[in-house]
Amino acid sequence: MSYLTLTGIQKRFPNGFVAVSDFDLAMEKGEFVSFLGPSGCGKTTTLRMIAGFEQPTRGNVVLDGTDITDRPPNRRNVGMVFQAYALFPNMTVADNIGFGLKVRKRDKASIARRTLELLELIGLPGTGNRYPWQMSGGQQQRVALARALAFEPQVLLLDEPLSALDAKIRVSLRAEIRAIQRALGITTVYVTHDQEEALSLSDRIVVMSQGRIEQIGSPFEIYNFPQTPFVARFVGTLNVLNARVADATAGRLDIGGQEMRATGAVGAAAGSMVTLALRPEILALGDGEPGHVRLRGTVDEVTFLGAVVRIRVRLPGDAGIASVDTFNNPHLAVPARESSVTFSFPAEACLVLDGAGRDAVVAAATAI
Amino acid sequence: MTGEVDRLHEELEELTGHREPTQRRMKGRRTAASWAVLLLGLAYFFLPLVGTLLFSLRERPFLAAYAEMVRDPQIWSSLAYSFAIGVITIVLSIALLVPTAFWVRLRLPRLRPVVEFVTLLPFVVPPIVLVFGLISSYSRPPLPLTGTNTGSDALLVCAYVILSFPYMYRAIDAGLRTIDIRTLTEASQSLGAGWITLIWRVILPNLRVSILSGAFLTLAIVVGEFTIANFLARPMFATYLQLISGNLAYEPAAVALVSFGITWAAMGLIALVGRGSQAKIEITGAH
């Protein structure tokens, strides 16, 4: 039986706006799940419904076999870390961490012991007497994490906890969050719009768009096997090419006068336009291996990105532009601008979207 | 901050010798005008006080008016009574207005203009109208409060709570504006705190300076209020002052100055408490 279950959750605000609908999720104990999506997709609203700050219009939230849908937030035993830290400015770091325990009327000795333990855990020993305003943003967020963990909540909720921090601290702190979560084995829900964060931290990712779940899966599945055009476009960088269906049954496609064959039938009528999605790292300059799809085009731009060199290749007609990523090395032969190049990719790495590129994947090869 | 920038500009101009003579003359004139306005303001404020002080010192022997004042037990009883009423008023105002302002900011922001209008009513309804309304309503059954001293005290406190609305509500509301009450509320709720713990342990301590500002303003108003106290026949400091003004010449001046001193001491206390908090804000801002 799952530890945290959200069934048929819907949230309609009084002005009629539906922020979340048909949300179903079952989480195991100790699992780390991220809600990933663009701003306004309903991820924070869903998190707030787990915390009890928002009441679902429909559906229920069950934690460890108990329906907590109607429980007020202070009686849910759910810890939360906020984007803006939300430390109490009038209290010291130790008082902040001990607040949840004090509310639960634990004795002073055990509060002090637990506070010291957590200060060690977050790597800030000896800072108990400081005030929040005497600490940096990263340190404050660590304290906020310790405070949320102090009373041993059943679930830890993190609402974009790293978005107010600079890039370097964000990377180091996310590794610390994951290490602490693993060490404590606490069930965690993490809200973010940063795909890199979600991919690097999570056991599973829930990709959301317009209040609905687009896909639930492991980072590997989400990145490599997107089930909807939205997931394919939102997660990772994607080349989008236009193609005309030459033979739907045989899966033959025409891309700017060049032919390729999908791995299966294309669910669109012959003559209609479809969109092809390809990850840049799948494409390689040159003819590739036997059986690979080969396309010719003109080099539009070469961008040096450090470890990676990105070559933008313009295809004939209105087929679009493909970015080919190749690892940098001192002996790399970089093609000149406006020169003609061939790039290749395995047919099964190509995702065929419908003409509008929005509603559904009409024919998918096995992987991108 | 702007002053600091101006100073740095001036220093730079001095160092580089780029300051124009006309510019210097203009600045000199502006400074002279500022000093003139400041001195005028100080004179307007301090001359009556100096006059009152000189008048209170005329009685012989020297400081007799003050000695008389200290010996008069009525002044101390009226001051004690006024302060007691003031403190009760402050406690009730805080108990009423902190949760109200908090709730309006947190859950009913659309009601803010209405609540603000209500809290400004004491500026529109004069104390004489308020006290007559209270007397006519509470001098007969079912609540004949004016019949007893305790009842009149209760009416007096209630009237002063209403009078304190504009000062107390605005101070609290300004304090609430400076803290992210929604996030702090949610943070403390997620940690298991109920509403009372939240207000007592999180909201009130963070409103300390604002509440103190409102409290001292309320105290100053209550100690100096005459109309309501007089019509309810309560032995407040202002009614005592009016009483001795009819019979004595120099003592009322001495008492008025002492009451001024008390008010100033209260204001000084606000500044002292507020300074600590300001330092905190600056350090936070510098992060």
- For B168-178, the pLDDT digits (tens) are 999 999 999 98
CB of A226 within 8 A of CB of A193?
no
| Interface residue B202 vs chain A (CB under 8 A) | yes
Confidence bin at B209 (pLDDT 50/70/90): confident
Residue B146 located in a structural domain: yes
Model confidence, pTM: 0.77
Q: Which of A195-209, A242-256, B136-150, B191-205 shows the lowest per-residue confidence on average (mean pLDDT)?
A: B136-150
Q: Residues in chain A whose beta carbon is closer than 8 A to a beta carbon of chain B?
A: 51-53, 72-80, 82, 84, 86-90, 99-100, 103-104, 131, 133-134, 136-137, 147-148, 151, 157
Answer yes or no: do A88 and B197 touch at CB < 8 A: no
Answer yes or no: do B189 and A84 touch at CB < 8 A: no
Count of residues in chain A: 368
Confidence bin at B59 (pLDDT 50/70/90): confident
d(CA B162, CA B50): 34
Confidence bin at B7 (pLDDT 50/70/90): low
Instruction: Give, in order, the Cα–Cα distances in Å from B278 to each of A16, A105, A153, B181, B285.
Output: 43, 33, 36, 19, 10
Residue B10 located in a structural domain: no
Predicted confidence at residue B276, as pLDDT, reads 55
3-state SS class at B203: helix
Predicted confidence at residue B249, as pLDDT, reads 79
Whether the pLDDT of residue B108 is over 80: the answer is yes
Confidence bin at B282 (pLDDT 50/70/90): very low
Answer yes or no: do A74 and B190 touch at CB < 8 A: yes
Confidence bin at B278 (pLDDT 50/70/90): very low
d(CA B81, CA B78): 5
Confidence bin at B274 (pLDDT 50/70/90): low
Chain A residues with CB under 8 Å of B175 CB are none
> Does a cis peptide bond (omega within 30 degrees of 0) precede residue B142?
yes
Tokens 């007497």 correspond to what residue? A129
d(CA A246, CA A265): 11
Residue B213 located in a structural domain: yes
Q: Which of B93, B119, B89, B94 is nearest to B222 (CA)?
A: B89
CB of A145 within 8 A of CB of A180?
yes
Predicted confidence at residue B88, as pLDDT, reads 94
Q: Checking DSSP bridges between strand A321-327 and strand A308-314, what pairing results, if any?
A: antiparallel
d(CA A271, CA A291): 25
Chain B residues with CB under 8 Å of A88 CB are 184, 187-188, 202, 206
| Interface residue B189 vs chain A (CB under 8 A) | yes
Confidence bin at B275 (pLDDT 50/70/90): low
Provide the mean pLDDT of chain B. 83
Answer yes or no: do B186 and A51 touch at CB < 8 A: yes
Q: Which of A40, A37, A59 is nearest to A50 (CA)?
A: A59
CB of B190 within 8 A of CB of B114?
no
Predicted confidence at residue A289, as pLDDT, reads 86
Answer yes or no: do B191 and A147 touch at CB < 8 A: yes
Interface test with A, best of B110, B179, B190 (most A CBs within 10 A): B190
Whether the pLDDT of residue B219 is over 60: the answer is yes
Kindly state the tokens that stand for B53.
């002080």
Q: Which of A24, A6, A17 is nearest to A67 (CA)?
A: A6
Predicted confidence at residue B115, as pLDDT, reads 92
DSSP A310: E
Q: At what angle do helices A108-121 and A137-150 cross, to 10 degrees?
A: 130
Kindly provide the b/e burial profile for residues A252-272, where b requires at least 16 CB atoms within 10 angstroms of the residue's own CB: bbbbbebebebbbebebeeee
Predicted confidence at residue A35, as pLDDT, reads 96
Answer yes or no: do A82 and B183 touch at CB < 8 A: yes
Provide the mean pLDDT of chain A. 89
Predicted confidence at residue B270, as pLDDT, reads 65
Confidence bin at B164 (pLDDT 50/70/90): very high
> Does a cis peptide bond (omega within 30 degrees of 0) precede residue B61?
yes
Residue B34 located in a structural domain: no
Cα–Cα–Cα angle for A24, A27, A30, rounded to 5 degrees? 165
d(CA A112, CA B142): 56
Q: How many Cβ atoms sit within 10 Å of the Cβ of residue B41? A: 10
All structural domains of chain A: 4-228 (3.40.50.300), 237-364 (2.40.50.100)
Predicted confidence at residue B241, as pLDDT, reads 83
Which residues in chain A show pLDDT less than 70? 354-368
Confidence bin at B3 (pLDDT 50/70/90): low
Residue B191: CATH number of its domain: 1.10.3720.10
Q: Which of A293, A295, A253 is nearest to A271 (CA)?
A: A253
| Interface residue B187 vs chain A (CB under 8 A) | yes
* ipTM > 0.90 for the complex: no
CB of A275 within 8 A of CB of A243?
yes
| Interface residue B205 vs chain A (CB under 8 A) | yes
Confidence bin at B95 (pLDDT 50/70/90): very high
Q: Which of A203, A187, A201 is nearest to A148 (CA)?
A: A187
Instruction: Give, in order, the Cα–Cα distances in Å from A302 to each of A80, A282, A284, A298, A334.
Output: 45, 17, 14, 11, 8
| Interface residue B180 vs chain A (CB under 8 A) | yes
Predicted confidence at residue A357, as pLDDT, reads 39
Kindly state the tokens that stand for B24.
């210097």
In this complex, which of A52, A90, A133 lies closest to B283 when CB atoms are compared?
A133
CB of A351 within 8 A of CB of A361?
yes
User: In angstroms, how far apart are the furthest CA atoms of chain A?
Assistant: 77
Count of residues in chain B: 287
Which strands make up the sheet holding A66-67, listed edge to edge?
A: A18-27, A4-12, A58-63, A66-67
Q: Closest residue of A to B287, CA-based?
A: A136
Residue B134 vs residue B102, higher pLDDT: B102
- Alpha carbon B144 to its chain centroid, in Å, reads 32
Whether the pLDDT of residue B240 is over 50: the answer is yes
**d(CA B194, nearest CA chain A) in Å:** 6
Half-sphere exposure of A31 (CA within 13 A, CB side): 18
Whether the pLDDT of residue B129 is over 60: the answer is yes
Predicted confidence at residue A363, as pLDDT, reads 43
In this complex, which of B187, B192, B208 lies closest to A82 when CB atoms are compared?
B187
DSSP A238: -
Q: Which of B113, B127, B222 is nearest to B169 (CA)?
A: B113
Q: A204 has which bridge partners?
A: A33
| Interface residue B106 vs chain A (CB under 8 A) | no
Predicted confidence at residue B262, as pLDDT, reads 76
CB of A243 within 8 A of CB of A324?
no
Confidence bin at B6 (pLDDT 50/70/90): low
Predicted confidence at residue B8, as pLDDT, reads 62
d(CA B277, CA B271): 10
SS3 for A85-127, per residue? Answer: CCCCCCCCHHHHHHHHHHHCCCCHHHHHHHHHHHHHHCCCCCC
**Number of domains forming the structure of chain B:** 1
- For B78-92, the pLDDT digits (tens) are 888 988 998 899 999
Residue B40 located in a structural domain: no
d(CA A109, CA A124): 20
**d(CA A348, nearest CA chain B) in Å:** 48
Predicted confidence at residue B281, as pLDDT, reads 39
SS3 for B145-166, per residue? Answer: HHHCHHHHHHHHHHHHHHHHHH
Domain that holds residue B87: 75-274
Kindly state the tokens that stand for A196.
């890199």
Interface test with B, best of A81, A85, A88, A159 (most B CBs within 10 A): A88
In this complex, which of B184, B190, B283 lies closest to A88 when CB atoms are compared?
B184
Answer yes or no: do B192 and A89 touch at CB < 8 A: no
Residue spans of alpha helices (H) in chain B: 2-16, 21-56, 64-71, 73-106, 112-124, 127-138, 149-177, 181-190, 195-197, 204-206, 208-224, 227-231, 237-247, 251-286
Residue B23 located in a structural domain: no
Answer yes or no: do B190 and A137 touch at CB < 8 A: no
d(CA B39, CA B32): 11
* Torsion of the alpha carbons at B245, B246, B248 and B250, rounded to the nearest 10: 30
Residue B35 located in a structural domain: no
Whether the pLDDT of residue B251 is over 60: the answer is yes
Residue B83 located in a structural domain: yes
Query: How many A/B residue pairs have CB atoms within 8 Å?
Result: 73
